[in-house]
Amino acid sequence: MQNKNRGAAMVEFALVAPFFFMLISCIIYGAMVMHDINSLNEITRNAARYGSVIASGVTPAEKTAEVQKFIRNKAANGGLFLYELNGDPKVSADENSEVTNEKTIKVVVTAQMKDGLPTFLFLDYFPASLKTISSTITMRRED
């Protein structure tokens, strides 16, 4: 009886292992995408906060440059794994809000999936909607 079942476990492993490792890879990759989405939201929120507390004597152009520099620094220093910033972040400083007529700062950051990532079998079918991620934060100025 033992001789008939010899090697069955090895054949079963050979059939199941590729799907198992693909599932594990998908879970890890999905976690990295979620990390980047959360990191981009956090970077944008911190940049808006930073821009809202900059001294009021600074011109809007200087404020915009400072906030863009802040975003680039945060994204470059381990903030994003799979994505890179897509151009310069858009910063609208010292605009009046339509609702409250108060000074606000609006920060829009967009990130594109990096080229040259290792493409496992499933990455070719990655949804196009997640190849570009974006975050928008509007915050009231604190003068």
Q: What is the pLDDT of residue 128?
A: 72
Confidence check: pLDDT of 99 > 60: no
Choose among 72, 68, 71, 62: nearest CA to 94. Answer: 62
Q: What is the pLDDT of residue 126?
A: 67
Q: What average pLDDT does range 109-132 have in this prediction?
A: 72
**How many other C-beta atoms are found inside a 10 Å radius of the C-beta of residue 19?**
9
| Widest CA span in the chain | 88
Helix ranges (DSSP H) in the chain: 8-53, 60-74
Spatial separation of the C-alpha atoms in residues 41 and 119, rounded to whole Å? 26
Per-residue pLDDT band at 141 (split at 50, 70, 90): confident
Helix ranges (DSSP H) in 54-137: 60-74
Q: What is the DSSP letter of 79?
A: I
pLDDT tens column, 7-29? 888 888 999 999 999 889 888 88
Q: What average pLDDT does range 123-138 have in this prediction?
A: 79
Task: Note whether 142 and 53 are within 8 A (CB).
Answer: yes
Choose among 114, 108, 106: nearest CA to 131. Answer: 114
**How many other C-beta atoms are found inside a 10 Å radius of the C-beta of residue 54?**
17
- Please tell me which of 27-41, 113-127, 128-142 the model is most confident about, judged by mean pLDDT: 27-41
Element (H, E) at 84: strand 83-85
Tokens of 23: 């599932």
Tokens of 88: 């310069």
